[in-house]
Amino acid sequence: MPTTYEKIASYTASSTQTEITFSSISGAYTDIVLVFEGITSSSGDLDIALRFNSDSGNNYSSTFIRGVGGTANSGRYTTQDLLRLGVITQERTGLRAHIQNYSNTTTYKPVLAKEDSIDSDYGNWLNIGMWQNTSAITSITTRNQPGYGSLLAGSSVTIYGILKA
């Protein structure tokens, strides 16, 4: 039986850092699932964000709903230079992002993501985002908002490919 869910690449930080990039991503899959698990330095919480194909233009937008402590709310980011998907804190934080139809060259690329956190200031985030570009995604950078903390050693990112037939 052909496999339908394969690891493409994985990286575990051996030291403090702010950015992890997977490049030369094959177009052989239909969708990509990105899984992050990690924690920040004591210097502060940081936005966790994705950047595709090193595009630093203001081509990203996202909408979130979230539960924070005892409050539920929603917000939206537009004309961003990163796809902002939540906040990594000094509590361990997880992110599962589904990047659908990532290799097509006719549509903008949607991302559906859930951030898992028990931090009382941030909590659960459910995000829908968009990279406003029709290019196939060939590289994915997981990074924080510049100037806000770092990922500690042991933080990890893995991308999986989901195969078509």
Partner 1 sequence: MATAFERIASHTVSSGGSSLVTFSSIPSTYTDLMLKISTKTSFDWLLLEFNDSAGTNYKQQNFRGDGTSVSAQNQINQSAAYATITGQNVTTSVFGNAEIYIYQYKQTSFKKLVGAEGISEANQTAAYQYLTSTEWQVTNEAINKIDISKSNAGNFDEYSTFYLYGISNA
- Give min distance, CB of 137 to partner 1, in A: 19
- Give min distance, CB of 59 to partner 1, in A: 28
CA trace torsion 87, 89, 92, 97 (10° rounding): 10
Please state the length of the chain: 165
- Give min distance, CB of 56 to partner 1, in A: 28
- SS3 per residue for 54-90: CCCCCCEEEEEEEEECCEEEEEEEEEECCEEEEEECC
Residue closer to partner 1 (CB basis): 33 or 130: 33
Q: Which two tokens stand for residue 75?
A: 């917000």
Cβ burial of 37 (10 Å; 0-12, 13-18, 19+) is middle
- Residue 158, SS3? strand
Residue closer to partner 1 (CB basis): 124 or 138: 124
Residue closer to partner 1 (CB basis): 59 or 151: 151
Residue closer to partner 1 (CB basis): 77 or 125: 125
Report the first-to-last Cα separation within the chain, whole angstroms.
Answer: 11
Residue closer to partner 1 (CB basis): 74 or 106: 74
- Give min distance, CB of 92 to partner 1, in A: 5
| Positions in the binding site for partner 1 (CB under 8 A) | 3-7, 10, 35, 37, 39, 65-72, 91-94, 96, 114, 116-120, 123-124, 126, 154, 156, 158, 160
- Give min distance, CB of 17 to partner 1, in A: 18
